[in-house]
Amino acid sequence: MANRDFEIIIVGAGPAGLTAGLYAGRSKLKVVCFEKLAPGGEILNTEHVEDYPGFELIGGPELAQKFTDHAMKFGLKIEMEEVEEVRKDGDDFVVKTDMGEYRAGAVIYTPGGYPRKLEIPGEEEYAGKGVSYCALCDGAFFQDEVITVIGGGNSAVEEAQFLTKYGSKVYLVHRRQGFRAHAVALDKLKDNDKVEFILDSVAEEVVGDDKEMKALRVRNVKTGETTEVAANGLFVFIGFIPNTDLIKDPVEKDESGFIITDQNMETNIPGLFVAGDCRSQLIRQITNACGDATTAAVAAEKYLEAQEDAKKSSAAAAAS
Ligand code: NAP
């Protein structure tokens, strides 16, 4: 334990990583957070956040800066290094980055993930100007507007239902007739008067002017016919890809590839804690990422204390 570089290493400086860093810093632990890009994570790509308590409306980058400043004020070191590997080595963890190798007693793993993209023309151009990957975050910006949703899984079906709270009309575009979504949720959506299904169809292009999206061009895969659906919003729910590959030990995951933890955010690998978007959970929001990261930081501290106590007990037993 003496040769550890840090007590805790945090992987990823999104809301979860920065919150874990804040709590670990406040506990005066020797902690570092490695981030490959800029601190803030996914909220850096979010124009407005209006569901973080205490801030009715705040820019994503501004909230990211507040998280960063707050954590650093309490001693968190943020290093711009890309983590390549996390593995257990005896009682320690070894975290390999593009700049070196570091040992720690515990790891809080918070690198998030990313929504699968359609990769069609206009998708990137109109991101934040009509195109979104989060209904809870952005739905309210589409009050009384026409919204398109892509996907046939539970996320698409549930979020399409949610978006009918705001949109005057919601089109669900799915590439085949069959759905992966639960039948109950699907039936409920079919009963919703605001919803129209466009099946056997794929999105081909997001069309708009220099300010915002105006329509979605879709192609029927059976007839080849192309139509333009006039809409101001496009919500894409075709899967979310968690960043779990850096962990080299066999960490337990759910059927969708998200990491399973106990209520202390600890995985099946003792000392490896997970919070944020790559954790198996019901929703992926800033609020629960922060809450779970708080638990992870406190649990990691207790884990290190227990490890230290066990070491002292075995040293005392050996001496007697
Ligand atoms: P998902 O279940 O993998 O569904 C993705 C959907 O997107 C599928 O319908 C798929 O079509 C479609 N798709 C994939 N790539 C596409 C592309 N390039 N173009 C057009 N369509 C594409 O993903 P998810 O809905 O995000 O759910 C992820 C996991 O979380 C699932 O296990 C889901 O059950 C779970 N989840 C559960 C709940 C709940 O229980 N309340 C809520 C949300 C999510 P095909 O079907 O044709 O492949």
Nearest CA to ligand 1 atom 21: 151
CA max distance for the chain: 84
Nearest CA to ligand 1 atom 11: 152
3-state secondary structure 94-119: EEEECCCEEEEEEEEECCCEEECCCC
Q: How far does residue 225's CA lie from ligand 1's centre (Å)?
A: 25
What is the rounded distance in angstroms from the CA atom of residue 90 to the CA atom of residue 207?
55
Q: Per the residue annotation, which of 33, 92, 138, 290 is the catalytic one? A: 138
Nearest CA to ligand 1 atom 40: 154
Q: Is 138 one of the annotated active-site residues of the chain? A: yes
Q: Which residue has the tokens 């650093």?
A: 72
Q: Per the residue annotation, which of 69, 89, 98, 134 is the catalytic one? A: 134
Q: Among 184, 216, 236, identify where a domain stops.
A: 236
Residues 51 and 148 in one domain: no
Which residues of the chain register pLDDT less than 70? 1-2
User: Does the CB atom of residue 285 touch ligand 1 within 6 A?
Assistant: no
The closest-lying atom of ligand 1 relative to the alpha carbon of residue 237 is 26
Nearest to 141 by CA among 55, 47, 240: 47
Q: Which residue has the tokens 């992870």?
A: 296
- Give the pLDDT of residue 132: 95
Q: Which two tokens stand for residue 30?
A: 């020797």
Residue 127 is given by DSSP the state B
Q: Per the residue annotation, which of 33, 137, 278, 290 is the catalytic one? A: 137
Q: Among 221, 236, 251, identify where a domain stops.
A: 236
User: Does the CB atom of residue 240 touch ligand 1 within 6 A?
Assistant: yes
Are 102 and 249 contacting, i.e. CB atoms less than 8 angstroms apart? no
Residues 124 and 231 in one domain: yes
Whichever domain contains 250, its CATH number is 3.50.50.60
Q: How far does residue 46's CA lie from ligand 1's centre (Å)?
A: 22
Please provide the DSSP assignment of 262-297 as one string: -TTSB-SSTTEEE-STTB--S---HHHHHHHHHHHH
Residues 84 and 42 in one domain: yes
- 296-319 burial: b if 16+ Cβ within 10 Å, else e: bbbbbbebbeebeeeeeeeeeeee
Mapped onto helix, strand or coil, the DSSP state of residue 168 is coil
- Give the pLDDT of residue 2: 58
Residues 244 and 148 in one domain: no
- Give the pLDDT of residue 47: 74
What is the rounded distance in angstroms from the CA atom of residue 22 to the CA atom of residue 306?
21
* 166 in a structural domain: yes
Q: How far does residue 256's CA lie from ligand 1's centre (Å)?
A: 10
Helix 286-319 crosses helix 15-26 at what angle (to 10 degrees)?
Answer: 40
Residues 123 and 104 in one domain: no
Cβ contacts of 90 within 8 Å, gap of 6 or more: none
Cβ contacts of 120 within 8 Å, gap of 6 or more: 203, 204, 205, 206
Residues 105 and 154 in one domain: no
User: Does the CB atom of residue 256 touch ligand 1 within 6 A?
Assistant: yes
User: Does the CB atom of residue 105 touch ligand 1 within 6 A?
Assistant: no
What is the value of pTM for the model shown?
A: 0.80
Instruction: Among 120, 134, 154, name the best residue to mutate to test ligand 1's pocket (greatest count of ligand atoms within 8 A of Cβ).
Output: 154
Residues 11 and 72 in one domain: yes
User: Does the CB atom of residue 156 touch ligand 1 within 6 A?
Assistant: yes
- Give the pLDDT of residue 129: 96
Q: Is 134 one of the annotated active-site residues of the chain? A: yes
The closest-lying atom of ligand 1 relative to the alpha carbon of residue 255 is 32
Domain that holds residue 264: 6-114+240-319
Nearest to 78 by CA among 147, 31, 42: 31
* 66 in a structural domain: yes
Nearest to 137 by CA among 55, 71, 209: 55
**Could you tell me how many residues make up the chain?**
320
Q: Which residue has the tokens 């979860």?
A: 16
Nearest to 127 by CA among 136, 142, 114, 117: 117
- Give the pLDDT of residue 1: 61
What is the rounded distance in angstroms from the CA atom of residue 20 to the CA atom of residue 112?
14
Q: Which two tokens stand for residue 312?
A: 């002292």
What is the rounded distance in angstroms from the CA atom of residue 96 to the CA atom of residue 93?
10
Q: Which two tokens stand for residue 65?
A: 């800066």
* 59 in a structural domain: yes
User: Does the CB atom of residue 93 touch ligand 1 within 6 A?
Assistant: no
Residues 165 and 101 in one domain: no
User: Does the CB atom of residue 238 touch ligand 1 within 6 A?
Assistant: yes
* 220 in a structural domain: yes
Residues 198 and 141 in one domain: yes
Nearest CA to ligand 1 atom 13: 238
User: Does the CB atom of residue 303 touch ligand 1 within 6 A?
Assistant: no
* 1 in a structural domain: no
Q: Among 209, 236, 263, identify where a domain stops.
A: 236
User: Does the CB atom of residue 208 touch ligand 1 within 6 A?
Assistant: no
The count of other CB atoms within 10 Å of the CB of residue 23 is 24
Q: For strand 213-220 and strand 226-230, is the pairing parallel, antiparallel, or unpaired?
A: antiparallel
What is the rounded distance in angstroms from the CA atom of residue 59 to the CA atom of residue 64?
9
Residue 43 is given by DSSP the state G
